[in-house]
């Protein structure tokens, strides 16, 4: 809008017109909009966090502009771009974090994709079925920051802010353990396996386990750990035993721990190192102490003996077999078997206190003690431990009448003399018996025996056809004769009873007649029994009287006159 002001002009001067500007209300709206836009840009610039790159093997479940980044279920960023690496081995995920999430860029922070997973340790990420996958974060503790990270393919079993302690377990092999395998205390799951890696020398494996609070206080300096994976089956004198921590350990493996009874040890510090044993019995056994290596040389075959087989002394496990090698003896031209065993003298317990004290180092003392025991007949044997499987074990025992052997106390390693096992001696005895049987003239014996049986058959046939019928007829005639004699004796008794009445006054004559009649009666009874015996067993004429108590003669009752004698 232009305003002109007329001034008084001098003659010859030109007229000057000045223009004046004014602010219109229509300009207020764009000015305010510009101010708001600038303030929003400044706020966005001030609130913008760092941008990082995360490397994953695949981009499954990820989508640029939609997939969020969450820490403790709070959104702290989002995926802005997904590109493929130059060599095509992995994908690069660009993530824009908020300013408040700047602390999540620590160098040791961990990132992983949370999606539904089903594994031996359970089901995880179920909530992402509806909301979609997202990137999880575990905040690190390092002060240094980084802009590029390698994402985890599996969620970490332990995050940094979980209460509890981590410990290190050393084992010869991993077995069926894996990341996430449970850790049990009194069959209660109190932790899990966090990670594992090979040792520096490659001879062992180091497992990192995490025990949740407050159970971490039960891990003391005297705690024992063992592998509780699978099923432990044992067959002993008290029957079949089956042990397992839970069904989960059969599939995913597991670790268990306990402290010896009466232990008063203090709680272990974080990252304390323990040894992981194969089973509970080995873990809870008393300390073995220093091991002593002994070499055994056997001339026999040791099929059935394996590395790890027990070494026993008087029924007590003192060690185990650690090596089995074949050797050559140029003098005897034989191939003996050399067995190396490790013996733990501490397992003998209080017996060590009663043994004589010897001078010298441990090897010297062991050699001198072994020399004295060998003189008493101590020998090593390979004995049969299971007749079904044929497994052998090494037994150290005193053998009576063992041949004398001079033991070199200066030789290293210490060598103990051996003898053949009892099973091998039994095999030799059986072989000797078989050899003697083979030398017997079995064919000649069989021919003579066959001829004797033929003659015996002829004799028995003759007896059955001729002797026995005639004997039967004779016995029948004898029986008839005995019956007639019995009747005659009965009549004589009646006659004699009358004579007794007549001769009652003559006592001596009466007694003599009574005794005579008793003798006749006994004779008659004996003849009757003989007749009955021959009637039932006519073959007794050839073979003798059979051993039948029912056929024995009954004792003859004494006469009244004999009973009246003083």
Task: Output the CA torsion 509→515→519→525 (10° steps).
Answer: 120
Is 441 within a domain? Answer: no
**Is 177 found in the same domain as 105?**
no
Rounded CA-CA distance 556/135 in Å is 118
Decide which of 284, 301, 332 is a domain's last residue.
284
Same domain, 337 and 460: no
Which residues fall within 8 angstroms of residue 119, CB to CB, at 6 or more apart? Answer: 180, 252
Same domain, 484 and 527: yes
**At 565, is the pLDDT very low, low, confident or very high (cuts 50, 70, 90)?**
very low
φ, ψ (nearest 5 deg) of residue 543: -95, -15
Domains in the chain, number: 4
Domain end: 262, 284, 306, which one?
284
Question: Among 113, 203, 109, which residue's Cα sits nearest to residue 154?
Answer: 113
In a domain, 409, yes or no: yes
| Judgement on whether residues 555 and 520 belong to the same structural domain of the protein | yes
pLDDT at 4: 45
**DSSP state string for 251-283:** HH--EEEE--TT--PPBPPTT-EEEEESSHHHH
In a domain, 518, yes or no: yes
Residues 304 and 417 in one domain: yes
- Tens-place pLDDT, residues 309-344: 999 988 888 889 999 998 888 888 888 999 999 988
Q: Is residue 277 part of a domain?
A: yes
Chain-centre distance of CA 297, in angstroms? Answer: 29
Region 210-229: what's the mean pLDDT?
91
SS3 category, 136: strand
| 275 — pLDDT class (breaks 50, 70, 90) | very high
Statement to judge: residues 480 and 538 lie in one domain: yes
Shared domain check, 309 and 415: yes
Please check whether residue 3 lies inside any domain of the structure.
Answer: no
Residue 518 to residues 386, 445, 512, 521, 559: CA-CA distances in angstroms? Answer: 76, 57, 10, 5, 7
pLDDT in tens, 279-312: 888 888 877 778 889 999 998 888 888 888 999 9
- Domain boundary among the residues 101, 125, 150 is at 150
174 and 146 in a common domain: no
Claim to verify: residue 385 and residue 320 sit in the same structural domain: yes
Residue 8 lies in a domain: no
Cα(536)–Cα(263) distance, integer angstroms: 86
* 28 falls within a domain: no
Same domain? 253 vs 311? no
One domain, residues 256 and 303:
no
Q: Report yes or no on 20 lying in a domain.
A: no
User: Which residue's structure tokens are 């497994």?
Assistant: 391
| Domain residue limits at 205 | 164-284
Are 277 and 297 part of one and the same domain? no
> How many angstroms separate the CA atoms of 98 and 170, rounded?
42
Higher pLDDT, 152 or 539: 152
Checking phi first, is residue 92 left (phi over 0); if not, alpha (psi -120 to 50) or beta?
Answer: beta
Q: What is the model's pTM?
A: 0.53
């Amino acid at each position: 809008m232009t305003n002109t002001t007329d001034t008084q002009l001098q003659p010859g001067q030109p007229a000057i017109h000045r223009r004046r500007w004014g602010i219109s209300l229509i300009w207020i709206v764009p000015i305010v909009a510009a101010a708001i836009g600038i303030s929003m840009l400044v706020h966005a610039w001030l609130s913008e966090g760092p941008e990082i790159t995360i490397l994953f093997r695949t981009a499954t479940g990820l989508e640029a502009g939609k997939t969020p980044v969450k820490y403790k279920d709070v959104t702290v960023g989002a995926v802005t771009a997904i590109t493929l690496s130059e060599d095509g081995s992995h994908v690069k995920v660009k993530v824009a974090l908020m300013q408040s999430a700047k602390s999540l860029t620590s160098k040791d922070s961990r990132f992983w994709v949370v999606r539904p997973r089903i594994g031996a340790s359970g089901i995880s990420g179920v909530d992402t079925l509806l909301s979609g996958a997202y990137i999880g974060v575990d905040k690190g503790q390092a002060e240094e920051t980084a802009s590029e990270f390698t994402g985890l393919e599996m969620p970490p079993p332990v995050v940094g802010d979980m209460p509890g302690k981590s410990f290190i377990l050393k084992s010869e092999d991993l077995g069926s353990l894996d990341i996430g395998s449970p850790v049990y205390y009194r069959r209660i799951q109190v932790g899990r396996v966090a990670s594992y890696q090979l040792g520096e020398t490659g001879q062992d494996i180091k497992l990192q386990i995490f025990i949740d609070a407050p159970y971490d206080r039960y891990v003391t300096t005297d705690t024992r750990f063992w592998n509780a994976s699978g099923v432990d089956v044992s067959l002993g004198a008290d029957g079949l035993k089956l042990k397992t921590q839970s069904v989960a350990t059969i599939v995913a493996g597991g670790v268990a721990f306990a402290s010896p009874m009466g232990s008063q040890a203090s709680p272990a510090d974080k990252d304390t190192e323990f040894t992981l044993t194969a089973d509970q019995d080995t873990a809870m056994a008393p300390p073995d102490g220093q091991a002593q290596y002994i070499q055994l040389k056997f001339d026999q075959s040791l099929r059935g003996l394996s590395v790890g087989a027990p070494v026993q002394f008087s029924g007590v496990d003192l060690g185990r077999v650690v090596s089995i090698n074949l050797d050559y003896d140029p003098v005897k031209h034989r191939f003996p078997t050399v067995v190396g065993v490790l013996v733990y003298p501490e397992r003998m317990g209080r017996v060590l206190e009663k043994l004589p004290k010897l001078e010298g180092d441990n090897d010297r003392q062991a050699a001198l003690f072994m020399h004295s025991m060998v003189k008493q007949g101590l020998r090593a044997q390979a004995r049969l431990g299971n007749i079904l499987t044929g497994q052998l074990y090494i037994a150290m025992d005193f053998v009576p009448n063992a041949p004398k052997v001079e033991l070199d106390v200066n030789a290293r390693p210490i060598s103990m003399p051996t003898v053949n096992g009892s099973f091998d001696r039994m095999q030799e005895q059986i072989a000797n018996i078989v050899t003697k049987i083979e030398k017997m003239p079995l064919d000649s014996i069989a021919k003579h025996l066959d001829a004797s049986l033929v003659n015996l058959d002829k004799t028995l046939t003759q007896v059955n056809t001729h002797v026995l019928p005639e004997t039967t007829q004779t016995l029948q005639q004898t029986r008839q004769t005995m019956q007639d004699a019995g009747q005659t004796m009965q009549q004589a008794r009646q006659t004699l009873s009358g004579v007794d009445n007549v001769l009652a006054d003559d006592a001596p004559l009466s007694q003599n007649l009574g005794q005579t009649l008793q003798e006749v009666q006994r004779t008659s009874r004996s003849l009757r029994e003989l007749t009955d015996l021959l009637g039932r067993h006519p073959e007794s004429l050839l073979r003798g009287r059979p051993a039948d108590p029912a056929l024995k003669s009954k004792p003859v009752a004494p006469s009244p006159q004999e009973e009246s004698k003083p």
